[in-house]
Amino acid sequence: MRAIVVSQWGGPEVLTETELDRPEPGLGEILVRVHAAGVNPVDWKTRASGALIPWGPVPMVGWDVSGTVEAVGPGVTLYRAGDEVYGMPRFPEQAGGYAEYVTAPARHFARKPASLDHVQAAALPLAALTAWQALVDTAGVSAGQRVLVHAAAGGVGHLAVQIAKARGAYVIGTASAAKHGLLRELGADEVIDYRTADFEEAVSGVDIVVDAVGGEYTARSLKVLKPGGHLVTLPGPDGIPADTAGVHAAWVLVEPDLGGLREIADLADRGLLRPLVDTVLPLAEAAKAHEIGELGRTTGKIVLTVV
């Protein structure tokens, strides 16, 4: 099979296409023929350092996939060959999503949303599961709550806006002014231009903050929360102060989640969740995808087409 491997740790140029043996599904696993693979910030961070995940014999990147079940391993009853699935296999261990085939436990996948094509579906798993696990599983978002989403037009952010809105929340997003119209189309009730306004002065009485920025944003976000509110930070726990002043603060590391993927697919098929795809490139141009992603200017997701 064709696959993108990391020749050595470094810049986008270390991503090279090669031929590898096609994997075989083990006990409880499925073999998926990948049609499209999503690109996420964690991909270029691991490519650059090699320090974030346990690597296999051949270093490979990529976790978001959408494709067709090619074969099932012993004990698998959820799927049959020919089923269309999407998922985030094996995260945070190596999955090798930038390839023609991947294997993983069957429950790391769910049936692809029927209303989406493979490119759109590949844009969802890691970012949408991150948003779902932050908002629903960790913060317990409910109707009528006020939710602030930082980097609201980004890969996780634009999905968090829609998930919070689908759960009945009042949604506020931070983004550059050029993206305000889009965010309102996605359901945001208020949008704050982070370049011209301090969000701590523009908003207060928030029940939940989803912090996809990190750094100083994490501590600053505590100031806008109600007592007992939830701050969920995504880049890492380093910015969470020791004293969180009567609110709940947590770092979420996304996990493979069959139940979450099913809920996300249901939202998509009901027209309540729409992934934004900024750029589509062929598998061979994975390095270019990383170059674009590292500029930090994309709205939504970058996706590689595989077959």
pLDDT, position 26: 98
Give the chain's mean pLDDT: 96
Calpha distance 191→177 (Å, rounded): 8
Asked whether the predicted pLDDT for residue 52 surpasses 80, the reply is no
Could you read off the pLDDT of 95-132 as tens digits, one per residue? 999 999 999 999 999 999 999 999 999 999 999 999 99
pLDDT, position 51: 76
Kindly provide the b/e burial profile for residues 178-215, where b requires at least 16 CB atoms within 10 angstroms of the residue's own CB. ebbebbeebbbbbbbebeeeebeeebeebbbbbbbbbe
Q: Report residue 60's pLDDT band, with 50, 70 and 90 as the boundaries.
A: very high
Asked whether the predicted pLDDT for residue 39 surpasses 80, the reply is yes
Calpha distance 38→56 (Å, rounded): 20
pLDDT, position 102: 98
Cβ atoms of 147 and 122 within 8 Å: the answer is: no
Pairing of strands 190-193, 170-175: parallel
Instruction: Indicate the DSSP class of residue 108.
Output: G
Q: Report residue 237's pLDDT band, with 50, 70 and 90 as the boundaries.
A: confident
**Burial of 216: CB neighbours in 10 Å, binned 0-12, 13-18, 19+:** exposed
Q: Report residue 65's pLDDT band, with 50, 70 and 90 as the boundaries.
A: very high
More confident residue, 236 or 86: 86
Could you read off the pLDDT of 183-218 as tens digits, one per residue? 999 999 999 999 999 999 999 999 999 999 999 999
Asked whether the predicted pLDDT for residue 163 surpasses 80, the reply is yes
Domain 2-124+275-305 has CATH 1.10.357.10: no
CATH topology of domain 126-251: Rossmann fold (3.40.50)
Where are the domains positioned within the chain? 2-124+275-305, 126-251
Q: Report residue 54's pLDDT band, with 50, 70 and 90 as the boundaries.
A: confident
Q: In what order do the strands lie in the sheet with 146-149?
A: 190-193, 170-175, 146-149, 206-211, 225-233, 248-251
Asked whether the predicted pLDDT for residue 297 surpasses 90, the reply is no
pTM of the model: 0.96
220-231: average pLDDT? 95
